[in-house]
C-alpha cells in the first residue's frame, strides 16, 4: 500500500509538469523519426536483409518510439546530481523503505506517461499510414515469453542506470562517463539501426553486452522475429545480466555509503 502511495505521489509530480514530460517524449520521437525518414530513401522497395524491407524497418522504429519511452530509464542523473552530489540521499536513508525501491517507483510514472504519448503517436501513425507498417507477433504461445522479455528489459535498464548513478560516490564529474555510455547505448541497444542490419562484428559485440536486451530484443520479440529458442536464450541472458547488475549494485552501494558525507560534494 505504501509503495502504491509513493507511486501515486510521483504521478502527481509528473502531471504537474506535463509539458516537460511531453518535451522529453518529443525529443526521443524526433530523433527516431529522422532515422525513419532516412530509411525511407535508403531502403526504398528493396529487401535490405532477409525479412527486413522498409515496412519491417518502419515498424521497428515505430515500436522504438514506445520502447524508448517505456524501457529506458533516466534515473542515473537524479541519483548522481540530486542525491549524491547535493546530499539528498540522506533524506532517503532515513525512510523505512529501500533506496533502490523508492527510485524504481519514482522512475516508473515518467516512463508510463511517456509510453502513453508513444502509444498515442503509434495509433495516429497506424491511422495515417495503415496497419502494414505495424508488424506484430501472431504466435499466441510466444506472448508470455515476450512479456517476460519486455519486463526484463525494463528492469535491466533501471538496474544499469541505477548502477551508473552510484558511480557518483567516487567520480567528481560524471558527464563524460554518462555521455559515453549513452552513445554506446545509442549504437549497441539498437536505437540507431536494427542490430541485424549492422555490420556483423558490431552486431556480435552488441549481442554479447546487455544493451541489446534493454531495447532491441524486446522490440524484435514484439515484431515476432524471435523463435521459442531465441526467446528462451534472451530470457536466460536477461536473468544473467540482472544477477550481475544486482551483485555490483550491492557492492557499490555498501562501499559508496561509507564515502557519503550527507552534506553534498
Partner 1 sequence: MKRYIRIYLMLVNSGFSAFLAYRPTMLGSILSSVMWSVFGIISMFLLTSRTSSVFGWSRYELILLSCVYNVLFGVFYFFFTRNFWEMQRIIHFGLLDSFLLKPINSQFSISFWYISVSSIIRLAIGLLATAYVLSLLKIHITVFVAVLFCISLVFGSTIMYAVWFMVMSLLIWKSNLSNLLDLLYMNNGVTKYPEQMYKRASIFLYIFLFPFTLIVVVPTKVLLSKATALDYGLLVILSGLFLYASHRFWKYALRFYASAN
| Residue 207 found at the interface with partner 1 (CB under 8 A) | no
Distance between CA atoms of residues 182 and 186, nearest Å: 6
| From 37, 93, 124, 147, residue interacting with partner 1 (rule: CB under 8 A) | 37
Query: Are the beta carbons of 193 and 56 closer than 8 angstroms?
Result: no
Nearest to 19 by CA among 115, 114, 124: 114
Candidates 63-71, 136-144, 183-191, 221-229 — which segment interacts with partner 1 by CB under 8 A?
183-191
Q: How far is the CB of 212 from partner 1 (least distance, A)?
A: 14
Instruction: For the chain, state the CA radius of gyration.
Output: 19
Q: Where are the beta strands (DSSP E) in the chain?
A: 47-49, 52-53
| From 126, 171, 233, 242, residue interacting with partner 1 (rule: CB under 8 A) | 171
Query: Are the beta carbons of 156 and 213 closer than 8 angstroms?
Result: yes
Residues forming beta bridges with residue 52, ordered by sequence position: 49
Which three-class secondary structure string do you get for 67-99?
A: HHHHHCCCHHHHHHHHHHHCCCHHHHHCCCCCH
Candidates 98-106, 138-146, 195-203, 250-258 — which segment interacts with partner 1 by CB under 8 A?
195-203
- Cell numbers representing residue 126 in the block: 497506424
Query: Are the beta carbons of 166 and 79 closer than 8 angstroms?
Result: yes
Contact positions with partner 1 (CB under 8 A) in 116-135? none
| Residue 176 found at the interface with partner 1 (CB under 8 A) | yes
Q: How far is the CB of 186 from partner 1 (least distance, A)?
A: 7
| From 112, 122, 126, 177, residue interacting with partner 1 (rule: CB under 8 A) | 177
Of 9 and 42, CB closest to partner 1: 42
Candidates 95-103, 116-124, 173-181, 243-251 — which segment interacts with partner 1 by CB under 8 A?
173-181
Max Cα–Cα distance, the chain, nearest Å: 60
Q: How far is the CB of 5 from partner 1 (least distance, A)?
A: 25
| From 8, 27, 124, 209, residue interacting with partner 1 (rule: CB under 8 A) | 27
Distance between CA atoms of residues 168 and 236, nearest Å: 30
| From 2, 9, 17, 93, residue interacting with partner 1 (rule: CB under 8 A) | 17
Q: Within its chain, how far is the Cα of 173 from the centroid?
A: 23
Of 20 and 132, CB closest to partner 1: 20
Contact positions with partner 1 (CB under 8 A) in 38-77? 38-43, 48-49
Residues forming beta bridges with residue 49, ordered by sequence position: 52
Of 39 and 63, CB closest to partner 1: 39
Contact residues toward partner 1 (CB under 8 A) are 17, 19-20, 23-24, 26-27, 30-31, 34-35, 37-43, 48-49, 171-177, 179-180, 183, 186-187, 192-193, 197-199, 202
Amino acid at each position: 500500500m505504501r509503495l502504491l502511495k509513493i507511486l501515486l505521489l510521483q504521478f502527481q509530480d509528473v502531471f504537474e509538469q506535463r509539458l516537460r514530460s511531453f518535451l522529453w517524449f518529443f525529443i526521443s520521437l524526433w530523433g527516431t523519426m529522422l532515422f525513419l525518414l532516412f530509411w525511407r530513401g535508403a531502403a526504398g522497395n528493396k529487401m535490405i536483409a532477409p525479412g527486413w524491407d522498409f515496412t519491417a524497418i518502419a515498424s521497428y522504429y515505430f515500436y522504438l518510439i514506445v520502447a524508448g519511452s517505456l524501457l529506458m530509464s533516466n534515473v542515473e542523473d537524479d541519483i548522481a546530481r540530486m542525491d549524491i552530489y547535493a546530499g539528498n540521499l540522506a533524506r532517503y536513508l532515513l525512510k523505512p523503505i529501500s533506496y533502490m525501491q523508492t527510485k524504481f517507483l519514482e522512475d516508473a510514472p515518467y516512463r508510463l506517461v511517456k509510453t502513453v504519448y508513444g502509444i498515442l503517436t503509434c495509433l495516429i501513425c497506424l491511422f495515417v499510414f495503415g496497419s502494414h507498417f505495424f508488424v506484430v507477433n501472431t504466435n499466441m504461445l510466444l506472448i508470455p515469453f515476450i512479456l517476460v522479455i519486455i519486463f526484463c528489459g525494463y528492469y535491466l535498464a533501471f538496474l544499469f542506470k541505477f548502477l551508473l548513478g552510484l558511480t557518483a560516490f567516487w567520480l567528481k564529474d560524471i558527464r563524460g562517463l554518462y555521455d559515453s555510455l549513452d552513445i554506446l547505448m545509442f549504437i549497441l541497444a539498437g536505437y540507431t539501426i536494427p542490430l541485424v542490419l549492422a555490420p556483423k562484428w558490431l552486431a556480435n559485440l552488441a549481442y554479447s553486452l546487455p544493451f541489446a536486451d534493454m531495447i532491441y530484443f524486446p522490440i524484435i520479440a514484439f515484431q515476432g522475429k524471435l523463435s521459442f529458442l531465441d526467446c528462451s536464450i534472451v530470457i536466460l541472458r536477461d536473468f544473467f545480466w540482472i544477477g550481475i547488475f544486482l551483485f555490483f549494485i550491492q557492492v557499490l552501494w555498501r562501499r559508496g555509503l561509507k564515502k557519503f558525507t550527507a552534506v553534498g560534494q
